[in-house]
Homo-oligomer: A and B are copies of this chain.
């Protein structure tokens, strides 16, 4: 850390900063410039926040040199983490890209089973679907709840597809973890520390979505919350940020993919459905996400988006999804990757309708 003194800081001010720093057991290096003095701090700064110095007499501001996330960083683990889902039936973070697909909300039992078969036939290997839904208006549909989880489990039984679904509250973690293969932390809960703590204390893989105004650095610190509680099976998901642009529902920030790949060993998922909010942009942005280096895609698919109870505007039809999968296989090849295909998945599951 660097403590920058104000132009008029006195020797006493500088002395106070040095003594304060020494009480934390770190070494200090004052550097006297023509206009300003800075004090460099060296050693183990773990217990030392910038706020300790920020308001001392004569201090202008402080500059951070190291990042406050450790376990999630590439420095801590240079090679990519690969996460086993459902006992290894699907692996996320390796050279094969995983496509997760399904409806925004689980609407009824037959619907989710039918969609599961359909997305598997097109090439998806994880089934997505919301049982608990966070909705902006109190008058909107709020999800099927526990019943939705059961339907998801039935769809997995039928098709062999592992299931990802959102957990919204700390006290739901045990319940959702019983049914789901991947727990999703939604964008609104990126900084819900109680929830992060709870999913960090259990062992199912977690997909953490970037908050609508979360910085990439904050996303990494939230991942650190989970990992530091013992669960290393964390993947990070870019799903669009809020900017001034209104042509898209959010600004799908694809830059986050290569930035995150440089800073963390955790797998990166892209969600072009929420990222753009517009069905017609999803194919182009899915291809782009794959070309940018995403390890997985999560896509909303609905057989009849017009009648979807939520987010129909951004859901692909089954035909659109099937066509997209074909073009994704070509992009994967162009970046020396493959798509994780359902064939192997079915072998592992040992069940399900023949493709």
- Residues in A lying within 8 Å of B, measured CB to CB: 2, 4, 7, 29, 31-36, 38, 40, 42-44, 46, 49, 51-52, 54-56, 63, 65-66, 68-69, 75, 134-140, 142, 168-171, 188-189, 191-194, 211-213, 215-218, 221, 224-225, 228, 241-248, 251-259, 261-262, 275-276, 279-281, 284-285, 287-293, 305-306, 308, 310-313, 327, 330-331, 333-335
Q: Do A262 and B288 touch (CB < 8 A)?
A: no
**Shortest distance in angstroms between A49's beta carbon and chain B's nearest beta carbon?**
7
Rounded to whole angstroms, the CA-CA distance of A36 and B225 in the bound complex is 25
A290 to B287, CA, bound (A): 9
How far does the Cβ of A246 sit from chain B's closest Cβ, in whole Å? 7
Q: 6 smallest A-B Cβ distances: which pairs?
A: A213-B213, A291-B291, A288-B292, A258-B284, A330-B334, A288-B288
Given contacts A284-B291, A330-B334, contact A245 B241 (CB under 8 A): yes
A244: which B residues are within 8 A, CB to CB? Answer: 213, 215, 241-244
Q: Which residues of B contact A137 (CB under 8 A)?
A: 68-69, 221, 224
**A54/B312 in contact, CB under 8 A:** yes
- A280: chain B residues at CB < 8 Å are 258, 262
Contacts of A213 in B (CB 8 A): 211-213, 242, 244
Instruction: Find out whether the CB atom of A255 lies under 8 angstroms from the CB atom of B285.
Output: yes
Cα separation A4 to B275 with both chains bound (whole Å):
24
Specify which of B2, B138, B261, B327 is in contact with A2 (CB 8 Å cutoff).
B2
Residues of chain B contacted by A285 (CB below 8 angstroms): 254-255, 258, 292
Knowing A29-B31, A255-B248, A280-B258, the reply to whether A2 touches B292 (Cβ < 8 A) is no
